[in-house]
Amino acid sequence: MTDVAVTFTKERHIKYFLRCLKTFLPSLYTSNDSNRMLLAFFTVAGLDLLGVLQSKTTLEERQGYIEWIYHCQVPTGGFRAFTGTDFGAENRTPENEAWDPANVPSTFFALELLLILGDDLSRVKRIECLQWLPQMQRSNGSFGEVLGPGGKIEGGGDLRFCCFAAGTRYILRGNGGKDVDDIKDINVDKLAAFVQACQAYDGGMGEAPFCEAHSGHTYCAMGALSFLNRMAKNQQPPSVLSPGAREFESLVCWLVSRQTAELGETEEDSDDESSPEADEVQRLPKAAEELGSNEDPDNLPVIRPPTGASLRYAGFNGRCNKYADTCYSFWNLATLDMMDRLDLVDATRNRQYLLGKTQHIIGGFGKGAGEPPDLLHSYFGMVALAFQGEEGLSSVDPALCISHRAVQHLQSLPWWTEGA
């Protein structure tokens, strides 16, 4: 079975991200207004990945984006996710500041955005932010999202917040230095123990201990441990980052098993109707739906083995028995990249899936076959392709999820070059 020719339509993706940056987003994004920092991240990082951020935006525009990000910094350290809660520094008091809190994920994305835009982070309240982080850690080692009234840790508790807290610490502590050595650090051992306790019986990570394994949380778990490990000089990496260890190998097995040719397509989405082989495959899920527990086993439909046509496109799912979804090509491949096991998946079939099924005709990527593009799936679709060396895309650091170009800029900052 020969592959159907697919191309990465770079120019259309550039237009898609520029439209998202410079015109209004579709109204469906309205409910995401409070996540504006994240939307900004996907947009600007997308153009950086395509290598056109400098050429397609002016210096003034980029400076404007930087000013907006700093406008989202709260006076006590950390960043808010959007400007909607900002009631002005002159009205802010210790009693009311909990209603305009810094937010753990937004702080991470704000710092990354500043790095991508070439800012030197000199206006970041670095000390204040590093003092705020330990206040966000719960006694079980996990992190919340914001500090509520009375300093109560609110929101989160799952691996996403562990990852963003560890990532923020990584960016702002770097190689340490006199100015931060005296600042109380987060409890690294407790965080690492919490993350490792989230590994499920099948090797993947759940959102909390004893939960079902999920690729998104698995990525966050390994991201958090990678950030901690990169900063832990001369220390043994945790077993889940140690090749040969049961924890490591079972996770690799689980991640690789997420690749699937079950795309969840409707008949109209599929361009393979003409092939009787593919037709047979399309009918299988329906046949499976009709199965009842009282059926005579002799009357059950024959489930045929996969064919060349049915395996032509193979994306990734995030949990057992789910359909492929563009973003899971990212969550799984990024984790495998952190574990240096990217070569174990079928890169060709994944590329066929992303470029042949979820890449949209107007640019960007949708969640599944035939779906409209959105910022999250568009960025993650491109990053997944970048891991596989797609021409026209910059290489990406899997834990920071930004181009190596932006990572180099981070590593040129004073607390990275002057530290121990």
Q: Which is nearer to Zn ion, 17 or 194 (CB)?
A: 17
Query: Given the complex with Zn ion, which of 100 and 325 has the nearer CB atom?
Result: 325
Instruction: Please report, to the nearest 10 degrees, the dihedral formed by the alpha carbons of residues 139, 112, 107, 186 taken in order.
Output: 30
Select the span of 291-299, 318-326, 339-347, 383-391 touching Zn ion (CB under 5 A). 318-326
CB nearer to Zn ion: pick between 154 and 262: 262
Number of residues that bind Zn ion (CB under 5 A): 3
Is 325 a binding residue for Zn ion by CB under 5 A? The answer is yes
What is the four-CA torsion angle of 43, 46, 50, 54, rounded to 10 degrees? 50
List the interface residues with Zn ion, window 101-120 (CB under 5 A): none
Report the residue number whose CB is nearest to Zn ion.
327
- Minimum separation from the CB atom of position 343 to Zn ion (A): 24
3-state secondary structure of 272: coil
DSSP one-letter code for 307: -
> What residues numbered 367-396 form the site for Zn ion, per CB under 5 A?
367
Q: Is 163 in the site for Zn ion (CB under 5 A)?
A: no
Q: Decide: is 324 part of the binding site for Zn ion (CB under 5 A).
A: no
CB of 24 to Zn ion, least distance (A): 23
Cβ 41 to Zn ion, closest distance in Å? Answer: 16
Contact 45, 108 (CB under 8 A): no
Bridge partners of 79?
Answer: 73
Q: State the minimum distance, in angstroms, from the CB of residue 142 to Zn ion.
A: 24
- The residue count for the chain: 420
Q: Which is nearer to Zn ion, 17 or 379 (CB)?
A: 379
112 vs 325, beta carbon nearer Zn ion: 325
Name which of residues 142 to 161 contact Zn ion (CB under 5 A): none
CB closer to Zn ion, 117 vs 385 = 385
If the CB atoms of residues 194 and 219 are measured against Zn ion, the closer one turns out to be 219
Annotate 108-127 with b (16+ C-beta within 10 A) or e (fewer).
Answer: bbbbbbbbbbbbebeebbbe
User: Which C-beta is closer to Zn ion: that of 101 or that of 356?
Assistant: 356
How many other C-beta atoms are found inside a 10 Å radius of the C-beta of residue 179? 13
Least distance between Zn ion and beta carbon 325 (Å): 4
In the bound state with Zn ion, the residue whose beta carbon lies nearer, of 258 and 367, is: 367
Q: Do residues 384 and 349 touch, judged by C-beta distance below 8 A?
A: no
- CB 216 → Zn ion: shortest distance, Å? 8
Q: Give 101-170 as a DSSP string.
A: ---HHHHHHHHHHHHHTT---TTS-HHHHHHHGGGGB-TTS-B-SEE-GGG-EES--SHHHHHHHHHHHH
Residue from 44, 240, 327, 342 binding Zn ion (CB under 5 A): 327
The answer to whether 113 and 156 have CB atoms below 8 angstroms apart is no
| Stretch of 39-47, 228-236, 325-333, 405-413 contacting Zn ion, by CB under 5 A | 325-333
- The C-alpha atoms of residue 387 and residue 331 are separated, in whole angstroms, by 11
> Which of these ranges, 11-19, 295-303, 360-368, 409-417, lies near Zn ion under the rule CB under 5 A?
360-368
**Stretch binding Zn ion (CB under 5 A), from 149-157, 172-180, 327-335, 407-415:** 327-335
Distances (CA, A) of 67 to 9, 60, 110, 201: 32, 10, 11, 47
Q: Which residues bind Zn ion (CB under 5 A)?
A: 325, 327, 367
